[in-house]
Structure 1
């Protein structure tokens, strides 16, 4: 008779309340590492509520191993908003004594916690006569896949190819909170128990899975390689607001505390539902903390493996400058991007001085040309005026003035003449001769 074991993570209700003091008025001692695993805030270890942002972010440390309830935590990423944990591998094996299938099926419930199952996980089944399901009864979600080993094809399967021959995989949607495994009883190993009596199924982080031919020849090898547990990724976020706009309205509860932090909207499905914090570009650290414990400037010049600079690197707040060394020019951010200058620094200075002097000289010459043109134009105008003076009796007038002694005359402009003659009206003509016309005043 099949035995069913289920590891269920109890539903938590996240209490978004202020941190309380321990009995006796002393604050709990908060730890942020357990064994070799860092536990950065907003997570924390300790009995006081102030050790973590909210109670749902508390981690237990048992024998230098961190646990989130009953699953061991492997890592916590602030930047990605993920936590890696180890979960048991479900199995279904033929019992030769009872002549039936013995199945051990695991599952857990993340409802009410700050976690969800990451869609970077894949439901993975290893076996030669297997059909397994992954389901979430609360969302009516069910999926699964089947694997088989027709003839000798199992021995010719390529490492890393999980295509249904001895191994199958299927993706899961974003936002699942419940995970439970089950096996199809009608598709079992009763007919092949001499070679492959067991099948295995688990939801696991796809990046941590590598299919080996040895798993196909002996599925038990898969289970023993991982020690009966496989890594799975949880997504996490800050759930006290639906998005960054709503969160930033309350400065007290807003979780992005660092001066160099940015807020990112988090979607658990089709709609926004929470937010998370990251350090601004050029900074690293903890965006959930203030001051020196928060986001700090990255000295990119100390990490050439991540920030390419093949010239002279100068760090600055939030970034860096990369320039070619003295005597070279070009693009210092790519290999071979800086080329040697053919001119020495002294020659470059000399060229600059000469260019400056020439610019002043050309400017002066240009100004002199303009002045010369204006002088020529003025002289031409004076000659024209003299010609008009001679043509219209100017010289004769001067001679008459010399004879008369103190005789004088008045010059009128065109506007005054037009007014006096009623705009050169013909009724005011008193005589004409040659090219001259004489009019009388109104």
Structure 2
């Protein structure tokens, strides 16, 4: 299940966490504004998570006490968690023998279920599945059935027989806040230097992201740092002379060639090889081999005439 991280209302040197704070819980990275271990490691209570050890020595990251966390993505503004499965089982007489209804509480923080990244799925024959909020003001439902010769799906795919899928609705939206006003108030604006600010997909608050050509944690000081593209030619190709700039890089083709050095240069490069010095009565400045060739030729002709 994917949760959307919505409103961010404050800001915080490690690129991912505050100094002295734990970076991972088990296999899950915990970037700021989230934090574990100490309260100061998170932006506020909404982003403070628990990292507990299991009996076999493994560490599990928990969201809201009962949902194990699997991944946190600042770029996508998502928090992936595991939730239990609701089920109803019936015996041969048609009586309900086992059942489990799941109730999920996200709390008052800036989290809501992602309507674009989650799929509500029901598996079973002649099954009606419902997903609603506590006040039943919005929800989702789907009905699955089996044909006479139909078979139920036994994997994650849904063929339409013995299962059904539908999207989930957006949760209640808050009124958008003016990000420009928040930027003017440094105490309440969370985005650092070289970042972009955009409203979240679900309408709750805003998100911070690094501008193109910059990398780092947009919520931590000193913000996002410039990428030196010249040090990574596999990702940022350059067939000429590379020069790093703030947020970008320049690539000029070599002397004698033309085109865009980032995509490819055409022509023949001129290699400047220092061959030596011409005689003093011609020039005392080092010149390239081609220039000196003409110079030597003139010198030979002149000596022949004088002899």
Given candidates 56, 60, 66, the residue that maps to 1:65 is 60
1:435 aligns with none
Render the CA deviation track for 1:145-204: whole Å, top value 9, x for unaligned: 12223133448x8x9863522332111223369xxxxxxxxxxxxxxxxxxxxxxxxxxx
1:2-13 alignment, distance < 5 Å? none
Please, which runs of 5 or more residues in structure 2 have no aligned partner?
A: 1-6, 13-18, 54-58, 273-307
C-alpha distance 80-243 of structure 1, shift in aligned 2 (>3 A) = farther
Whether the 8 Å contact between 2:28 and 2:71 is mirrored in structure 1 is yes
- Deviation, 1:17, is 10
1:123 paired to 2:86: no
Whether the 8 Å contact between 2:145 and 2:162 is mirrored in structure 1 is yes
C-alpha distance 132-301 of structure 1, shift in aligned 2 (>3 A) = farther
Higher Cα radius of gyration: 1
C-alpha distance 279-17 of structure 1, shift in aligned 2 (>3 A) = closer
The CA distance in 2 between the partners of 1:149 and 1:307, in whole Å, is 53
Q: Which runs of 4+ in 1 moved over 6 A?
A: 16-19
The CA distance in 2 between the partners of 1:285 and 1:152, in whole Å, is 55
C-alpha distance 131-240 of structure 1, shift in aligned 2 (>3 A) = closer
TM-score normalised over the length of structure 2: 0.69
Whether the 8 Å contact between 1:45 and 1:58 is mirrored in structure 2 is yes
1:248 paired to 2:183: yes
- Deviation, 1:51, is 2.1
1:112 paired to 2:108: yes
1:300 paired to 2:300: no
Whether the 8 Å contact between 1:146 and 1:164 is mirrored in structure 2 is no
The CA distance in 2 between the partners of 1:153 and 1:303, in whole Å, is 55
Render the CA deviation track for 1:50-81: whole Å, top value 9, x for unaligned: 22111111010001211112211111111221
What SS class does the counterpart of residue 219 from structure 2 fall into?
Answer: coil
2:246 aligns with 317
C-alpha distance 323-127 of structure 1, shift in aligned 2 (>3 A) = farther
Higher helix share: 1
What SS class does the counterpart of residue 108 from structure 1 fall into?
Answer: coil
Please, which runs of 5 or more residues in structure 1 have no aligned partner?
A: 1-13, 20-27, 178-238, 347-442
1:7-406 alignment, distance < 5 Å? 30-48=21-39, 50-63=40-53, 64-69=59-64, 70-96=66-92, 99-119=95-115, 120-138=117-135, 140-154=137-151, 162-175=158-171, 242-256=177-191, 258-266=192-200, 268-269=202-203, 273-291=204-222, 294-303=223-232, 306-309=235-238, 313-325=242-254, 327-334=256-263, 337-341=264-268, 344=270
Number of residues paired by the alignment? 254
- Deviation, 1:85, is 0.9
Whether the 8 Å contact between 1:241 and 1:247 is mirrored in structure 2 is no
- Deviation, 1:121, is 0.7
The two structures, once aligned, show a CA RMSD in angstroms of 3.7
